[in-house]
Amino acid sequence: MMEVVDRSLKSATEYFQNFFSFEYYKNGFLQNVDARVKLLGIVVLLLATVSTFKISKIFAILFSAVVLAKLSNVGLRKLISRVWLFTLFSFLIVLPLTFVEGWGYVLAFTLRVLTAITLIQILVLTTPFNEVLQTLRFFKIPETLVFALGITYRYIYMMFTELLRILIARESRRLKRLSFREIWENGGKALGAYFVRVFEKGERIQMAMKVRGDKIRYYHRPFKIGTSEALFIIFTTFVLTWWLML
């Protein structure tokens, strides 16, 4: 039926299957830092990055981010594979400005985006999502939002496989190559059927949760500054002092 549509979904499903199964197996420096301290530290470095256009300052933070990635066993190749695309996109967007502003602005802007994305990737690659949810509750984000976020994350993979099953079922019944119009019509119906199933599943899951007590709680570990947290705070303070001096 819909080569582009189901190919994109098949590759996305495979990606997410790997993502949810194998993402957090590595251990390293940042993986042992309390998520609350880590989130605050990364946000401070992020704010320092996006509040300057001085290339030396941005480089200082980018260098520190790469050091953090190395200490946390996040491979440089993996990091580059996750940041290059949007960095290149940002570079191409501002490239015409070289005629007006010269290379200085274009390089600084691209470097800012690269550093900011690198910092977020390091946070993402070293923090399981349940720790992110615990951190959000710790910072008093409303529990309705945090619970809905937890459900969203928990059921993403299931929803992918559900959608893939619908598309495979339709594909298996196809007898001829379809025109654009037919692809769109069939695709619309498939997505309509998918959302009907989503509603039915949502109602069943909610009833099942009610039976079990209808309550989710996110427990945090007691807050304490251990060796990893102390080292991370010292590291962040050092980087910020360096950033201020440049």
Partner 1 sequence: MHIPDGYLDMSIAGLFYLLTAIVLGYSIYKIRKEQVNWVLVGITASAIFAAQMLNWPIPGGTSAHFVGGALAGILLGPYAGCLAMACVLIVQCLVFADGGITALGANIWNMGIVDVFVGYYIYKALENRNKFLAGFLAGWLGITLAAIFAGIEIGLSSSFHYSIAVTVPVMGMWHALLGIVEGVITGSIISYITTTRPEILKATEEVKVGRAVWIALAVMIALSPVFAYLAELVNYSEPLENVASALGVSEHPIYEGILPDYTVPGLDPYTGTLISGIVGVAIVLAIGFIIQRASGTR
Comparing CB distances to partner 1, the nearer of 98 and 225 is 98
Comparing CB distances to partner 1, the nearer of 108 and 235 is 108
Comparing CB distances to partner 1, the nearer of 131 and 229 is 131
Q: How many CB atoms lie within 10 A of CB 215?
A: 8
| Minimum distance, C-beta of residue 175 to partner 1, in the bound complex (Å) | 20
What is the rounded distance in angstroms from the CA atom of residue 165 to the CA atom of residue 38? Answer: 39
| Minimum distance, C-beta of residue 19 to partner 1, in the bound complex (Å) | 8
Angle (nearest 5°) at CA 222 between 221 and 227: 90
Comparing CB distances to partner 1, the nearer of 3 and 225 is 3
Written as six digits, the tokens of 109 are 């802007």
| Minimum distance, C-beta of residue 198 to partner 1, in the bound complex (Å) | 4
What is the rounded distance in angstroms from the CA atom of residue 33 to the CA atom of residue 229? Answer: 5
What is the rounded distance in angstroms from the CA atom of residue 93 to the CA atom of residue 113? Answer: 12
Comparing CB distances to partner 1, the nearer of 31 and 90 is 90
| Minimum distance, C-beta of residue 215 to partner 1, in the bound complex (Å) | 12
What lies within 8 Å, CB to CB, of 235 at 6+ separation is: 64, 68
What is the rounded distance in angstroms from the CA atom of residue 98 to the CA atom of residue 5? Answer: 38
| Minimum distance, C-beta of residue 195 to partner 1, in the bound complex (Å) | 6
| Minimum distance, C-beta of residue 178 to partner 1, in the bound complex (Å) | 10
Comparing CB distances to partner 1, the nearer of 29 and 160 is 160
Q: What DSSP letter does each residue of 80-98 carry, written as one string?
A: HHHHHHHHHHHHHHHGGGH
| Minimum distance, C-beta of residue 71 to partner 1, in the bound complex (Å) | 19
Comparing CB distances to partner 1, the nearer of 196 and 225 is 196
